[in-house]
Amino acid sequence: MRIAVVTGASSGIGREFAFQIPKLYKNLDELWVVARRTERLRELEDRLGLPVRIFDGDLNRDYIFERIEKELYRRRADIRMLVNSAGYGKAGRFGTIDAKEQLGMVSLNCQALTKLTQICLPYMSRGSRLVNVASAAAFAPQPGFAVYAASKSYVYSLSQALRRELMTQGIIVTAVCPGPVDTEFFQRSGTLPGSFKKAAKADVSRVVRKALKDSAAGKGVSVYGPMMKGLWAASKLIPYSLTTRILKKTNHIE
Ligand SMILES: NC(=O)c1ccc[n+]([C@@H]2O[C@H](COP(=O)([O-])OP(=O)(O)OC[C@H]3O[C@@H](n4cnc5c(N)ncnc54)[C@H](OP(=O)(O)O)[C@@H]3O)[C@@H](O)[C@H]2O)c1
């Protein structure tokens, strides 16, 4: 059974992947979607011209991975694409953010992504795509968004390393690194630090279209828009000691 697996499919970037993947990959038998809000996932069933298998559950808990693993085995799944999009951020000075939220970010953005990738890899083969949604926040440490940016640096770094490792098996890995995108992300994050707040929010369908195009082209990183591309280039040249000094000022961290 040829499938694509998308986490965070109930909203924003993940949901958009769920919409766009069947249009691009016509030979899939099913789309497997993961998130906590069941109703939102059910809505996808009505809107997609492809059977949808729902995994409604919390990626910070073990049971959801057990369910997915069991189904992968039972259906003899051939994963053509895995999109790890579930994630969240909390903005603010480190000491002001609830410890549960800080650790929740690490758990969902890093641990759950790693765990699902590990479970899915045995079911991926030549031509399969792994798409990890990181962020432009991955490019440099972010005073005022510290844990989130660090968690996304992890996703970015992991993706680049896996890309090398899996190349010989013909599996393509792409890290998607958008700046602000117009989604529900900001309802949970609170007001972003100054440097990000100023950037216009990108249209989610465009960001995902580019990500799928970049993945199809075999690119290792997908960055949408000239501003974020500029930041990416700058981050390779400017040392962290200077970036953090600049960001501390622009993010108004006293
Ligand atoms: N929007 C931006 O500006 C932006 C920029 C760069 C990178 N990103 C990254 O893009 C990814 C998607 O974010 P988004 O903008 O699409 O935000 P979003 O609209 O808030 O979507 C987040 C998704 O993650 C799922 N999720 C959250 N907690 C979960 C949990 N414990 N278990 C399972 N699923 C969970 C949510 O589903 P349920 O609530 O139904 O569980 C939802 O589907 C994230 O990794 C984010 O860091 C976003």
Question: The tokens 């707040």 sit on which residue?
Answer: 197
The number of beta carbons lying within 10 Å of the beta carbon of residue 134 is 29
Residue 195 is predicted with a pLDDT of: 59
Distance CA 138, CA 21 (A): 25
Any idea where the domains of the chain sit in the sequence? Answer: 2-250
pTM summary value? 0.96
Residue 141 is predicted with a pLDDT of: 94
Distance CA 156, CA 19 (A): 24
Per-residue pLDDT, averaged over 4-29, amounts to 97
Cβ(35)–Cβ(8) below 8 Å: yes
Is a pLDDT exceeding 90 seen at residue 250? no
Best residue among 5, 6, 7, 10 to mutate for probing ligand 1's pocket (most ligand atoms within 8 Å of CB) is 10
Which band of pLDDT confidence, cut at 50, 70 and 90, is reported for residue 73?
very high
Residue 61 is predicted with a pLDDT of: 96
Is a pLDDT exceeding 90 seen at residue 196? no
Distance CA 129, CA 13 (A): 17
Best residue among 181, 182, 205 to mutate for probing ligand 1's pocket (most ligand atoms within 8 Å of CB) is 181
Measured CA angle at 213 (ends 209, 218), to 5 deg: 150
- What is 2-250's CATH topology? Rossmann fold (3.40.50)
Q: Which two tokens stand for residue 136?
A: 């432009």
Per-residue pLDDT, averaged over 72-94, amounts to 97
- Nearest CA to 117 out of 106, 126, 103, 128 is that of 128
Is a pLDDT exceeding 90 seen at residue 198? no
Residue 98 is predicted with a pLDDT of: 95
Per-residue pLDDT, averaged over 153-165, amounts to 98
pLDDT digits 0-9 by tens, 7-16: 999 999 999 9
Q: Which two tokens stand for residue 77?
A: 């799944």
Q: How far is the CA of 7 from the centre of ligand 1 (A)?
A: 9
